[in-house]
């Protein structure tokens, strides 16, 4: 198997052709609104959709978005990885609203491609330091008490390409390794209680049934707290890309722990020191030591609009929008600046503010066509404030990839075009 690269060597700054909406003269002078008094053929002429019958029911037994939304898609960055089986694509954050990610737009991260599993043939085994080793079928799992919870999943490598400076031109690419859905699943503590833990039990090992057999060690306290063994997302079965028929949900912790196609849980007294927690998902510090078991995803936010793929198009009334999240609790406040940090204002948070979930914020503002340096800064329920990239680098050095929750800057130019920049 080709080795995966969550850690591409930062290369020179690139502009992503198909994705970036480049081009001058984006801004329309004044409002694009039709002016009252002038006849508008879109109103005065009968349109085809008004004249002819539309498609009947069952045209799509499983619904699909309008054909006019065909650009709202996951995208990858081909030069990042050697093969699509061990690769990543990104959630189009700039095209979404609210807090729930539509299932078909959740970013994908696979180390060995998407396992194609018939649920009738899937088994979850639990063994090791337990009183009673057990094997569950999917039918067994679906007869156990279940819970519904909304959680974000963020890959530890999200924004990793931005560690040494701004690189990718689009919040889809800088921040799109995150999604937020409602999971339905059985608390892991219920499953562990059924197997019965032996007194020495301290760590668990979760293993996937995909060709990479990805595995991670999980501390028992977390397993007994809020971990779910999920079979559904957004009300329907998990998508194959997200681990159908069964995945681990490890709220607030790095995405790599959320083992997909989950087939085995071993209970032990020490961590396993698997590849994904030694050679990968550790951060090399300036003094040569490495941070490991960096489970929590700290508070982070990003302005999704405007952003390079969603430039400003109109002077006057505009909506700035963005997302904030924290692996340590809820989002308490989001500050936004339009002038690179000279002045900050509190954003308007709208929609549910849930524990370890994406939270939506807005700033309704008037744009006079001047240059903007747009940033957002999240504060979570622990009082932690999202740091600048410079503050992060002071502590972590230049070698890090994972856990980059630094403040993002977008430079809006007078023509509305927006670019990924860093200011000091």
Binding positions for ligand MTE, rule: CB under 6 A: 106-111, 153, 155, 179, 208, 210, 212, 214, 241-242, 255-256, 258-261
For ligand MTE, give the closer residue by CB, 211 or 415. Answer: 211
Query: 181 is in the binding site of which of Co ion, ligand MTE, none (Cβ under 5 to 8 A by kind)?
Result: none
Provide, rounded to whole angstroms, the least separation between the CB of residue 115 and ligand MTE.
Answer: 7
Residue 182: exposure state from Cβ atoms within 10 A (0-12, 13-18, ≥19) = middle
138 vs 297 by CB, closer to Co ion: 297
- Closest approach of Cβ 7 to Co ion, in Å? 11
Smaller CB separation from ligand MTE, 112 or 271: 112
Q: Output the smallest distance, CB 154 to Co ion, in A.
A: 8
Please state the closest distance from residue 107 (CB atom) to ligand MTE, in A.
Answer: 5
CB atoms within 10 A of CB 365: 15
Spatial distance between the Cα atoms of 172 and 19, rounded to a whole number of angstroms: 9
Which spans of this chain sit near Co ion (rule: CB under 5 A)? 109, 155, 255-256
Contacts of the segment 133-140: beta carbons below 8 A, 24+ positions apart:
133/195, 134/191, 134/194, 134/195, 136/191, 138/231, 138/245, 138/246
User: Minimum Å distance from CB 6 to Co ion?
Assistant: 6
| Element containing residue 409 per DSSP (H, E) | strand 409-412
107 binding partner (options ligand MTE, Co ion, none; Cβ < 5 to 8 Å by kind): ligand MTE
**Smallest Cα–Cα separation from 245: which of 421, 135, 121, 151?**
121
DSSP 8-state secondary structure symbol assigned to residue 269: S
> Do residues 389 and 405 touch, judged by C-beta distance below 8 A?
no
Q: Which does 212 bind (CB under 5 to 8 A by kind): ligand MTE, Co ion, none?
A: ligand MTE
Q: How far is the CB of 149 from Co ion (least distance, A)?
A: 20
Specify the residue, 115 or 201, whose C-beta has the smaller distance to ligand MTE: 115
Nearer to ligand MTE, 94 or 179 (CB): 179
Closest separation between CB of residue 106 and ligand MTE, Å?
Answer: 6
Name residues whose C-beta falls within 8 Å of residue 185's C-beta, 6 or more positions apart in sequence.
146, 147, 228, 229, 230, 231, 232, 249
Structure-token pair, residue 332: 């308490």
* The entry of ligand MTE, Co ion, none that residue 214 binds, CB within 5 to 8 Å by partner kind: ligand MTE
Q: Compare residues 151 and 361 and give the one whose CB is closer to ligand MTE.
A: 151
Which one, of 240, 108, 243, 126, lies nearest residue 176 by Cα?
108
d(C-alpha 421, C-alpha 334), whole Å: 20
Dmax (CA) for the chain in angstroms is: 80
- Residue nearest ligand MTE, Cβ-based: 208
**Binder of residue 108, out of Co ion, ligand MTE, none (CB less than 5 to 8 A by kind):** ligand MTE
CB closer to ligand MTE out of 254 and 419: 254
Nearest to 274 by CA among 190, 374, 175, 206: 206
Name which of ligand MTE, Co ion, none residue 167 binds, using a CB cut-off of 5 to 8 Å depending on partner kind.
none
Our CB check for ligand MTE shows the closer of 203 and 258 to be: 258
| CA nearest neighbour of 138 among 194, 185, 195 | 185
CA dist., res. 93 & res. 408, Å (int): 14
Please, which residue, 110 or 332, has the CB nearer to ligand MTE?
Answer: 110
Alpha carbons within 13 angstroms on the beta-carbon side of residue 115 total 25
Q: How far is the CB of 148 from ligand MTE (least distance, A)?
A: 18
Output the smallest distance, CB 223 to ligand MTE, in A: 16
Residue 210 contacts which entry, ligand MTE, Co ion, none (Cβ below 5-8 A, type-dependent): ligand MTE
């Amino acid at each position: 198997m080709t080795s995966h690269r969550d850690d591409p060597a930062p290369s020179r700054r690139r502009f992503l052709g198909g994705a970036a909406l480049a081009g001058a003269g984006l801004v329309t002078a004044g409002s694009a609104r039709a002016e009252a008094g002038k006849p508008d053929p879109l109103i005065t002429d009968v349109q085809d959709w008004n004249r002819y019958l539309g498609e009947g029911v069952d045209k799509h037994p499983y619904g699909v978005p309008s054909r006019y939304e065909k650009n709202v898609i996951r995208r990858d960055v081909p030069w990042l990885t050697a093969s699509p089986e061990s690769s990543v694509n990104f959630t189009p954050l700039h095209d979404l609203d609210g807090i729930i990610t539509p299932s078909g737009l959740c970013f994908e991260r696979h180390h060995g491609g998407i396992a194609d599993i018939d649920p009738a043939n899937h088994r979850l085994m639990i063994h090791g330091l337990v009183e009673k080793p057990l094997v569950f079928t999917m039918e067994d799992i679906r007869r156990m008490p279940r819970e519904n919870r909304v959680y974000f999943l963020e890959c530890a490598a999200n924004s990793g390409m931005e560690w040494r400076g701004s690189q990718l031109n689009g919040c889809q690419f800088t921040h799109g390794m995150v999604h937020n859905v409602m999971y339905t699943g059985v608390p892991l503590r219920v499953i562990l209680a059924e197997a019965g833990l032996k007194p020495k039990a301290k760590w668990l090992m979760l293993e996937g049934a995909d060709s990479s057999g990805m595995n991670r060690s999980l501390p028992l306290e977390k397993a007994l707290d809020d971990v779910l063994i999920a079979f559904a997302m957004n009300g329907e079965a998990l998508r194959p890309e997200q681990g159908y028929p069964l995945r681990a949900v490890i709220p607030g912790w790095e995405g790599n722990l959320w083992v997909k196609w989950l087939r085995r849980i071993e209970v032990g007294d020490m961590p396993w020191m698997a590849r994904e927690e030694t050679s990968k998902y550790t951060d090399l510090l300036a003094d040569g030591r490495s941070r490991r078991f960096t489970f929590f995803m700290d508070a982070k936010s990003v302005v999704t609009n405007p952003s390079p793929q969603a430039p400003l198009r109109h002077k006057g009334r505009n909506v700035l929008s963005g997302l904030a999240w924290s692996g340590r609790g809820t989002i308490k406040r989001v500050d936004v600046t339009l002038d690179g940090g000279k002045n900050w204002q509190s954003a308007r948070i709208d929609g549910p503010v849930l524990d370890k979930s994406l939270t939506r914020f807005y700033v309704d503002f008037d744009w006079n066509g001047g240059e903007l340096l747009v940033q957002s800064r999240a504060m979570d329920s622990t009082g932690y404030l999202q740091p600048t990239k410079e503050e992060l680098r002071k502590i972590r050095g230049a070698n890090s990839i994972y856990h980059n929750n630094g403040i993002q800057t977008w430079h809006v130019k007078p023509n509305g075009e927006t670019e990924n920049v860093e200011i000091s």
